Structure 1
Amino acid sequence: MVTELRVHGVTGSPAEDVLDRPLLRRVAGDTDAGFFRPRAEYGAVTGPGGATLEAYRWGNLTAGAAARALWLLLLPFMLANVALWLRPATRPGPRAAIRALTRIYALSMTGSFVLAFAEISMDLVGWQCAALSRCPQGRWYLAPLADGFFATTSRRLALTALVPALAIAFLWFLGRRTWSRYEAFPVATEGDGDGLAHPCFWNGAPLVGRLRSLHIAFAFATLDAVLLGILVPRDRHPAGYVLAAATALILLTCIVAVAVRPVVDRDNPTRWARPLTRLLSHTAVGLTVVVLGYALLARDPWTATGRMPVLGGTVTGLFAVQVVLMLVLGAVVLASRPRGTFLQGLAGPLIASAGLGVAVAFAAGLAYRVADFLDRRALPSTPDYAAGPALEPPPAYEWAAAGFVLLLLLTALVAIVGGLPLVRRLRRYARVVTDADFRGGRERDAARARRIDRAVADSLVTDHIGRMLVWVFIPSAVAAMAATGFALAGRRPIRLAESGSAAAEALSFAVNLGTYLIGLSAFALVLIGVLAYRYQRFRRIVGVLWDLGTFWPRAAHPLAPPCYAERVVPELAKRASWLAAEQGGVILSGHSQGSVLAAATVLQMPAEAQARTALLTYGSPLRRLYARFFPAYLGDPMLEQVGAVLARPRQEPGQHTPRWVNLWRDTDPIGGPVASPTARDVRLVDPPGFGIAPGDTVFPKVDGHSGYQLRPEFGAVVSGLVRDLTSPPPRPEAPADAGPLPQVPA
């Protein structure tokens, strides 16, 4: 008996909806990811062609807990990790350079995370607020900073340094917990491979463990460097210099380690790689304890004035290094990309730069809101900069606030100047599609035809979003480099104009507006995450971002949201192989993101199971999104290989019948044809009818990305695949030495 195993997409649809059956039982898996079938005692256990129905629900891996809202705050880490997989198909040399640059950039993002917490707790609270008599006044929780043991400057810094230390410890705990839950699915051997067909591509545990140790060591060493950067120049004590040298050695070792192959290669890591990374993390923790103890020693008192030295320059300097890394990464990609690569192969640098922008925006928004609160809601920027605010975040954050306003204006400008003409062109094309599908319909009901035109045109916008992002990115990158130069020079935005002038007022307004907007954006992101736990509508919004970003293993940033596919793909491959070999055959039926999981699963199945397997995809982003943005992993070779391992020989020598069928619609904004010679694309007309059907009162609905299983064409395709799997193979008339089906390289 053939089983149709359905895999849902990013919305986390219930198994009841996937199978269109109300009463199910779990036959394998657990509450996070399980396999469900209709209950036999109520009948209706089979689908089209007599196939046994089964659904795999993996949605709880990504949307099953309210804690998912916290993961959204680590969006910069996720974007840094995805950037590694966005590289074009290149030669081994540039490939190694791209990986090294991306991993160094991801390590720097961990440093930015630490500096953001250090700025708030150590600078704003421990240094600036505690030095102002009116700031701790009436606030019992700040009393220890003004009186008692922690009243001295060095001890205040040691106390407030516990906040970033606890944040690092929480990331460490979260990383270990998710690693054991998501990436610890048993895999026989270790290995990396450079394609989804590699038997250990989804075995991320070894590499994640080593990278996590390096990032934790770098995080604690960054905190130590901030604290020692204040104390050592003032103390000039040999013990301080020794601690500073040890801190610098850990930082340098972490930077080198994430870039060298013996440590980060999953194929053949050196035997000392894991002991080295563990030693670094444990040494960094011990060093932090010693540094905190050093800061608690008795010293001659000194008064903290202005901003905390070192930190502001460190924040700006690190941002400048990250900008340079992105420029170098872009240059390497441009020099090594194949001709005709989507977005010139710059998708990785674009996404990484977006992650950097989000990180700086989050840090600036939080810093300014804390400064407003501590300073009794004083404005962060005033036109009369001679007076200046009492509490000042670093100049880089002020530039980030102004840049956020500029980014919004650029986005609106691109949408108006480029988006509106684009929509008009797409609607002209949509008229051709509508008129071809429903001949004479426009003459009968022009309004109905226009609604269908809009559905087709709106779905085509997806194909142009990448280019529109480039239009926003280029001027934003130029502005970011200019702002970095001003910030390195210590110049704030309002100092570009004369104090008290109209230009200074405009710049001050832009900065103040930016601080509130980025703070509101961070709050809205958390709110959406919480609402996603309770409401299906918000879960769809979060689910698309989450599921697409966490499909890839954590090979660049180990503290990013966990990779659900490292459990889903091996689990699906094991279940599908059993169904194919022991139960008569299996049709892997994947919708949307489920089609990507199903295709990856096919490549992980043994050859004897692939011979009894067919693939049905619908609403699939494989060609439209993944092949464009991830050409090195989901490009033409991989798509051809998926169909090639499933193809059924025909009577004619060298001819094969595809066992991969893909359904798509013009109104689907996500799915499209796979356009592979080893697959068969079937286009569905949507909506299914133009006018109101007899006996009905409303027009047929435009389904877009949903409802594929409810169409009669879906049942016909499944029935055909069932017949193909159950019919005996044809006897080849070719000579016995005609040769096997050629394999497409990964």
Structure 2
Amino acid sequence: MVTELRVHGVTGTPAEDILDRPLLRRVAGDTDAGFFRPRAEYGAVTGPGGVALEAYRWGNLTAGAAARALWLLLLPFMFANVAIWLRPDVGAGARTVIRALTRVFALTMTASFVLSFVEISMDLVGWQCAALPRCLQDRSYLSVLADGTFATTSRRLAVTALVPVLAIAFLWFLGRRTWARYEGFPINTDGDGDGLAHPCFWNGRPLVGRLRSLHIAVAFGTLDAVLLGVLVPHDRHPAGYVLAAGTALILLLGFVAVTLRAVVHRDAPASWAKPLTRWLSHAAVGLTGLVLAYACLPRDGWTATGHMPVFSGTITVLFAVQVLLMLVLGAVVLATRPRGTFLQGLAGPLIASTGLGVAVAFAAGMAYRVADFLDRRSAPSTADYGEARQLIEPPPAYEWAAAGFVLLLVLAALVGLSMGLPLVRRLRRYARVVTDADFRGGRQRDERRAGQIDTAVADALVTDHVGRLLVWVFVPAAAAAVVATGFALLGQRPIRLAASGSAAAEVMAAVVNLGTYLIGLSAFALVFIGILAYRYQRFRRIVGVLWDLGTFWPRAAHPLAPPCYAERVVPELARRAGWLAAEQGGVILSGHSQGTVLAAATVLQLPPQAQARTALLTYGSPLRRLYARFFPAYVNDAVLQRIGAVLTRPEDGVPGAGQHSPRWVNLWRDTDPIGGPVQSPTARDVRLVDPPGFDIAPGDTVFPKVDGHSGYQLRPAFGATVAGLVQVLSDSSAEPPTASNAPAVPAT
């Protein structure tokens, strides 16, 4: 008997909803990811064409676990990791450069993470607050920093440095735990292939282990560099210089190693790569212990004033390096991209820059709110030009981040008004054509109903234009970031660009103050969403969508990003589908939304004997509409054609141009904002009219629902397609029937 194995999309759809059956039993897998079938004792165990129904629910790996919401705090790492997969399809030389630049950028994001904790604990608390009696007043939990053992400045820095140490240790623990759980899934590495078809594509465990060691080494090295940057110029002691040299060596080796093919090659690293990376992480931990011990040594009296020395400049220089990396990455992409690449191939730099913006906003927002709390003031900074008042405040570079956040919001609003609204009007005009073609005479009967369908079609089409709108936001924002970085490197603050006391100065001060509140609000919003995800399913699903879309790809750039669930899902699906195909009479891999991406990747991982007894049904698929646009190096015309071609038995022959493979059928709707046609000569695209009817059906009281991205399996066309694929698996020469309301769309 042929089995229809359904794979859900994002948000962790319950298995009962996947199969539209209330009583199920798990037949394989576990509570995180399992295979379910209807209970035989209650009947209704088969589907269209007599298939055995089975659902694969992998949602507990992502949206189903509320604890995963905490990963929202590491969104910058996820963006940095996704950026490496967004590259255009370029030659080997350019590919190596792009990967190296992205991995170096990912290392700098780890350093930024450490510096955000250093700013709060060491600069604001250990350096600034501990030196101000009014900050310590009535705060017994902080007064200990000014009395007894920790009365000296260096020891206060040492004890407050334990906060970033704990943060790094938590990252290390989390990275190792997810590495053992996700990347540790057993996988068959026999066979050959390339890209998604490579047998080792989903085997990232060795690479993630090496990258994790390098990132931990750089994290501890960053902390050591900041602490020694304060102590060594003050002490001028040989021991300090030796420790500084050791720190510089670890940082240098870490940044060099992440660019070496012998270290970061997924399948064939050098024999010395793993020992080197492990040694670096262990050496960094040991060196941090020595640096903390050095900070605790007795010293002469030392009064802390202003900001922590060197630290403000370190933040500015690091941000300048990150901006430079993005500019170089963008230049390499523009110089090597194939003609016609979506967004000119700049999706990677744009996403990486978004991660950088989120990181800066989070760090600045938290720093300003902590500074407000410590200083007991209502205004975060900058409107006061007087020098007599001593304030607790973050580095001046964060003022540029606050002003930039306001600028970004203004740009987004301007682009939305000037380009977004006209775009929506144009899409509405196109939608009228679609509606009138599907429901002839309907607009004359009910203009309001036709308008509702127009809106659904137009809203779905916005997806195809969002990327271009974002470019109009990010390009000016990137230019502004470069200018702001230059001013910050020169030590210039935003409010100093205008004459003191002038109206322009007051406006700039107000903008910066507003920005500090807005970025603080955005930072706390992430935390609040994470808390709500523990308690409410709705928020848990929102977090799950973000998780599912951002963690499909392996951790090839940032090993401390949220883990890749596909490194378990695809091998597990391939094992189950291979068994069903070879031992149980055949299998129809039936995927919805993100499940279509998983199902397509699974097809490429199946052995040939299993592929000969496998069919593929996709609906609401983002393969062409999103993945082929944003990930052209891994999902492209050749890959999509191969997916359908490998499902054809050798005696059938590979379909030529203008023909259709009978083994892959893709259902799509004009009202679907995510799915669309796959436009491959080896796939049959079937367009479904949505809604199924224009008028209220006899005996009903409401109009037929516009399903959009959901409800594909509830339509008669779905059952007819499944029944056709069952026949195809029995007779490879048969063409799958097409429902009367689902006209075939020629492949292009």
Give the TM-score taking structure 1 as reference length.
0.96
Matches within 5 A, 1:353-432: 353-387=353-387, 390-432=391-433
After superposition, the Cα gap between the structure-2 partners of 1:642 and 1:193, relative to the gap in structure 1 and judged at 3 Å, is closer
CA displacement at 1:276 relative to structure 2: 0.2
Aligned-partner Cα distance in 2 for 1:653–1:419: 44
Which position in structure 1 is the counterpart of 2:598?
Answer: 597
Offset of residue 115 of structure 1? 0.6
Once residues 579 and 653 of structure 1 are traced to their aligned partners in structure 2, the CA distance between those partners, rounded to angstroms, is: 24
Residue 346 of structure 1 pairs with residue 346 of structure 2: yes
Which residue of structure 2 lines up, in the alignment, with residue 82 of structure 1? 82
Q: Which amino acid aligns with 1:390?
A: L
Alignment of 1:435-514 (within 5 A): 435-514=436-515
Letter in 2 for 1:317: V
Quick one: which amino acid aligns to residue 406 of structure 1? L
Using the TM superposition, give the Cα deviation of residue 394 of structure 1 relative to its aligned residue in structure 2, in angstroms. Answer: 1.1
Distance in 2, Cα, partners of 1:240 & 1:191? 54
CA–CA separation in structure 2 for the residues paired with 1:568 and 1:653: 28
Measured in 1, the distance between the counterparts of 2:337 and 2:181 equals 37
Structure 2 Cα separation of the partners of residues 347 and 166 of structure 1? 34
Q: Give the Cα–Cα distance (whole angstroms) in 2 for the partners of residues 394 and 143 of structure 1.
A: 24
- Which of 703, 707, 713 is residue 699 of structure 1 equivalent to? 703
Partners of 2:66 and 2:540 within 8 A in 1 = no
CA change 1:260–1:510 in 2 (3 A) is same
Residues 191, 203 of structure 1: 8 Å contact kept: no
- 1:63–1:533 CA contact under 8 A, matched in 2: no
Judged with a 3 Å threshold, the aligned counterparts in structure 2 of structure 1 residues 644 and 340 are, in CA distance, closer, same or farther, namely same
Q: 1:194 to 1:255 in 2, by over 3 A?
A: farther
Q: CA deviation at 1:540?
A: 3.5
Q: Which moved more, 1:642-651 or 1:333-342?
A: 642-651
- For 1:506, the aligned partner's letter is V
| Cross-structure match for 1:35 | 35
1:54-101 deviation line (CA, Å, top 9, x unaligned): 000000001233322210010000000000000000000000000000
Q: How does 1:68-467 map to 2 (within 5 A)?
A: 68-189=68-189, 195-387=195-387, 390-467=391-468
**Does the 8 Å CA contact 1:191/1:200 hold for their aligned counterparts?**
no
Distance 1:223 1:717 in 2: 59
Amino acid at match of 2:446: D
The answer to whether the aligner puts 1:659 opposite 2:663 as a matched pair is: yes
| Per-residue deviation, 1:513 | 1.2
Distance 2:122 2:532 in 1: 33
**How far is 1:726 from its partner?**
2.1
> Could you tell me how far apart the structure 2 residues matched to 1:72 and 1:360 are?
15
5+ long unaligned stretches in structure 2: 735-748
Q: In structure 2, the residue corresponding to 1:95 is in which secondary structure?
A: helix
1:712 aligns with 716
SS of equivalent to 2:133? coil
Cα distance in 2 between the residues matched to 1:653 and 1:364: 57
- For residue 650 of structure 1, report the CA deviation from its aligned partner: 7.8
- Give the superposition deviation at 1:533: 4.1
Identify if the C-alpha distance between structure 1 residues 492 and 651 changes in structure 2 by more than 3 Å, giving closer, same or farther: closer
Distance in structure 1 (CA, Å) of the matches to 2:129 and 2:113: 22
Q: 2: distance between equivalents of 1:190 and 1:50?
A: 34
Could you say if the C-alpha distance between residues 533 and 63 of structure 1 is closer, same or farther in structure 2, counting changes exceeding 3 Å? Answer: farther
CA 1:527–1:194 in structure 2 vs 1: closer, same or farther (change >3 Å)?
A: farther
- CA shift for structure 1 position 529: 2.8
Partner of 1:680: 684
C-alpha distance in 2 between matches for 1:728 and 1:287: 66
Aligned-partner residue type, residue 195 of structure 1: G
Instruction: Please report how far the alpha carbon of residue 594 of structure 1 lies from its aligned counterpart in structure 2 after TM superposition.
Output: 0.2
Contact 1:649 1:729 in 2 (8 A): no
Identity of aligned residues (%): 81
Deviation for aligned residue 1:380: 2.0
CA contact (8 A) 2:611 2:646 kept: yes
Q: By how many angstroms is 1:11 displaced?
A: 1.6
1:590, CA displacement in angstroms?
0.2
AA in 2 matched with 1:668: D
Contact 1:383–1:501 (Cα < 8 Å) also in 2: no
SS in structure 2 at match of 1:335: helix
After TM superposition, give the deviation of residue 368 of structure 1 in Å: 0.2
Q: Aligned equivalents of 2:541 and 2:456: distance in 1?
A: 19
Whole-angstrom distance in 2 between the partners of 1:427 and 1:454: 7
Q: CA deviation at 1:160?
A: 0.5
How much has 1:203 moved relative to structure 2?
Answer: 0.2
Q: CA deviation at 1:499?
A: 2.1
Give secondary structure in 1 for the equivalent of 2:532.
helix
- Correspondence list, 1:594-633, <5 A: 594-633=595-634
TM-score (norm 2): 0.96
In structure 2, the residue matched to 1:739 is none
> 1:623 Cα deviation (Å)?
0.3
Task: Give how far 1:652 is off.
Answer: 8.6
Letter in 2 for 1:434: T
Cα separation, partners in 2 of 1:600 and 1:498, compared to 1, 3 Å? same
Query: Do the aligned partners of 1:648 and 1:659 also contact (CA within 8 Å) in 2?
Result: no
Partner of 1:736: none
- 1:570 matched to which residue of 2? 571
Structure 1 residues 124 and 623 mapped into 2: Cα distance closer, same or farther (>3 Å)?
same
> Which residue of 2 is the match for residue 521 of structure 1?
522
- C-alpha displacement at 1:542, in angstroms? 2.1
Deviation for aligned residue 1:205: 0.4
User: Are 2:9 and 1:9 equivalent residues in the alignment?
Assistant: yes
Write the distance in 1 (CA, Å) between the matches of 2:632 and 2:732. 37
Q: CA, structure 1 residues 429+98, in 2 after alignment: closer, same or farther (shift >3 Å)?
A: same
Match of 1:741 in 2: none
What letter corresponds to residue 283 of structure 2 in structure 1?
T
Distance in 2 between residues matched to 1:373 and 1:66, nearest whole Å: 30
Aligned counterpart, 2:540: 539
Letter in 1 for 2:598: L
Q: Deviations over 1:248-306 (max 9, x none)?
A: 00000000000010000012100000000000000000000000000000010110111
Deviates more, 1:693-702 or 1:179-188: 179-188
Q: Structure 1 pair 648/314, CA: closer, same or farther in 2 (3 Å)? A: same
Contact 1:593 1:621 in 2 (8 A): yes
Instruction: Tell which deviates more after alignment, 497-506 or 190-199.
Output: 190-199
Q: Is the 8 A contact 1:380 1:389 kept in 2?
A: no
Task: Indicate conservation of the 8 Å contact 2:69/2:540, yes or no.
Answer: no
Q: Deviations over 1:594-615 (max 9, x none)?
A: 0000000000000000000000
Report what 1:642 is aligned to: 643
TM superposition shift of 1:541: 2.5
The change in CA–CA distance for 1:685 and 1:590 in structure 2 (over 3 A counts) is same
SS at match of 1:134: helix
Aligned to 1:588, what secondary structure does the other structure show?
strand
Deviation, structure 1 residue 381: 1.9
CA distance in 2, matches of 1:304, 1:540: 48
Decide whether aligned partners of structure 1 residues 191 and 137 sit closer, same or farther in structure 2, where only a CA change above 3 A counts: farther
2:292 aligned partner, one-letter code: L
Q: Give, in whole Å, the separation in 2 of the partners of 1:13 and 1:597.
A: 15
- The residue type paired with residue 474 of structure 1 is V
Q: Is the 8 A contact 2:63 2:548 kept in 1?
A: no
Which consecutive unaligned segments of at least 5 residues does structure 1 have?
731-746
**Aligned partner of residue 634 in structure 1, secondary structure:** coil
Q: The residue matched to 2:259 in structure 1 has which SS? A: coil
Aligned position for 1:740: none
Q: Secondary structure at the match of 2:54?
A: strand
2:740 maps to none
> Residue 403 of structure 1: SS of its match in structure 2?
helix
Cα distance change on mapping 1:703 and 1:533 into 2, 3 Å: farther
> Please, what is the CA RMSD of the aligned residues?
1.5
